[in-house]
Amino acid sequence: MPTAIVAETCPAPECNLAPRDVKKFVKELQAYHARFRAAFRRPEQFERAGLYLNGLLGDTPRKTIEPMALALGEKVRTLQHFIGHSRWALEPAVQIHQGLIADTLGEACQLSAKSLS
């Protein structure tokens, strides 16, 4: 006997954010994105990285380039080129990301150490 396929094993929690919460989140996301500016050689690459990030967090059900670009009002080929063919060094972005993680975990470890003493 065939087993039923469960499409959603872990439903997303209900969202109860107020508009002011969303505005704060958008500002924090912009600040996070800005920290990676040095990882890109050209300003257009940095801008497209922001578009891609917005697309990943947007309302489109499929997180592929075409629906994300269309939802953002951007040219599909431009975003496709950025993701698939644009040359930018991965190492600077990884170093920035690792630094952010170290800062975050370092703070958590320091707080834990203080609470133990």
pLDDT for the residue 72: 93
pLDDT (average), residues 5-33 = 79
87: its two tokens:
């040359």
More confident: 87 or 109: 87
DSSP string, the chain: -PPPP-S-SSPPPPP---HHHHHHHHHHHHHHHHTTGGG-SSHHHHHHHHHHHHHHHSS-SS-SHHHHHHHHT--HHHHHHHHHT----HHHHHHHHHHHHHHHHHHHHHHHHHHH-
pLDDT for the residue 76: 95
* Mean pLDDT estimate for the chain: 84
Rounded-to-integer distance, Cα 36 and Cα 24, Å:
19
Tell me the pLDDT tens digit for each residue of 61-90. Answer: 888 999 999 999 999 999 999 999 888 788
More confident: 110 or 80: 80
